[in-house]
Copies of this chain bind each other. A is one copy, B any other.
């Protein structure tokens, strides 16, 4: 034991390759062979490092959701007033729905898995929970929940539209949902 010639980066590179492959071809297009080729590792390495496809996917999406939520927390953490928080939220929406399709695709792929399989639903729940907690740094719990849903919907719709809506529309929606109650 402890021979010391393991390659700890190997696992990480494989996960990277999985995420890239999902972006290009979808979860359905992921196979041990393709991942191995993309990561530059032999096929046998797959079964050695991972018990099977599922461990591969679960680990990939765990990493992905962690990354996304970290950005979310960072931006909201930097805000010091509700208005700055609103700006941060608008930035996040437009970042997520911007030219870069990578995060959008991965999110949908994860949601699709989550819709059917509890193990992945757990992942999305953790993600949503952390997002909401970050929003609660600036807004009350009920508002945070509504705002979180709004962010989701705005991002998805904006990304799918032919001509994405203007920032002003996002800003107005955020202002409305976070407006003080009468």
Contacts and interface: CB of A to CB of B under 8 A. Distances in A.
Interface string A115-151: 1100001001100100000000000001001101111
A142 B27 contact: no
Contacts of A47: none
Instruction: Say whether chain A's binding surface is mostly helix, strand, loop, or mixed.
Output: helix
A111 B114 contact: no
In the complex, the 5 A-B pairs of residues with the closest C-beta atoms, listed nearest first: A153-B153, A149-B153, A152-B153, A28-B28, A146-B173
Interface of A: 26-28, 101, 104-105, 108-109, 111-112, 114-116, 121, 124-125, 128, 142, 145-146, 148-154, 156-162, 165, 169, 172-173, 176-177, 179
